[in-house]
Amino acid sequence: MTPAISAQAAVPASPETKEHGLSTKAVEIARPFNFPITNSMVVSWIVAVGLILFAQLATRRMRQVPTGAQNFLEWLVEALYDFMVGIIGPHLAKRTFWFFATIFIFILSANWIALVPGVGAMGWGHRTDHGFVIDQPLFRGANADVNMTLAMALVFFASWIVWAVREVGVMGFLKELFAPKGESTGVLRLLMVVVFFAAGCLEVVSILFRPV
């Protein structure tokens, strides 16, 4: 009687595949005069230059009846302005429109540019068994860099403080944060002062973390 020998078929191990995605920080691609330039900075400069050139082209020969690029630019500005007026009113819209419109157009354009084929897919890398892997992309979405997001948040934070102080004054700004609201007297008034002062301190912490 011949014993039956059962052998398990050896299953070849699949090669390990390493996932490659967007790096957590922008990649430095050059350092002229010891000034670091990242791939996100390059895209942000391209977007900024493109918007400046478009604005110059659209307003180079202003016409009473706009056409072409001038017509599109005027439509965009008027639409954004009317939208802001409907939210914050005409008074604040006149004071803050330049900032919000600029940031909106820049962020929108930067996000659209990041969708162009080749952004993030061109650069320096190495060949593997699974194809060519990009280690240092030449272009990277401008808003994918936390430094860009943080910079815009800090600028808005500082601008918001300036607008608030100009609107209600320093004392009005502090009263809005710490002063008790409502009508109260006696011990209740003292208690409300303590409560609203504590709430004001929390509001200050909240304001400090809003850019983040």
pLDDT tens digits, 143-190: 777 778 888 888 888 888 888 888 888 888 887 777 777 676 667 777
49 lies in some domain: yes
Residue 19 lies in a domain: no
| 68 part of a folded domain | yes
Q: According to the per-residue pLDDT averaged within each range, which of 15-24, 63-72, 115-124, 182-191 is highest? A: 63-72
* 8 Å CB contact between 97 and 84: yes
Domain count within the chain: 1
Q: Has this prediction a pTM greater than 0.95?
A: no
Assigned domain for 4 exists = no
Percent residues over pLDDT 70 in the chain: 77
Domain annotation covers residue 90:
yes
Cα four-point dihedral sign 20, 21, 22, 25: negative
**Range(s) of the domain holding residue 94:** 29-144
Using alpha carbons, list the distances in angstroms from residue 176 to 27, 123, 185, 200.
44, 52, 19, 8
Residue with tokens 């809005």: 176
Confidence of residue 50 (pLDDT cuts 50, 70, 90): very high
Is 184 within a domain? no
pLDDT value for 134 = 66
Q: 3-state DSSP helix/strand/coil percent for the chain, to nearest 5?
A: 60, 10, 30
In a domain, 153, yes or no: no
Within-domain flag for 7: no
- Rg of the chain's alpha carbons, rounded to an integer? 28
SS3 195: helix
**Of 139, 133, 148, which is closest to residue 114 (Cα–Cα)?**
139
State pLDDT tens for residues 82-118. 999 998 888 888 888 999 899 899 988 988 887 877 7
CA atoms within 13 A on the CB side of 15: 6
- Confidence grade of residue 212 (pLDDT, cut at 50, 70, 90): low
Residues 6+ apart with CB under 8 A from 69: 54, 57, 58
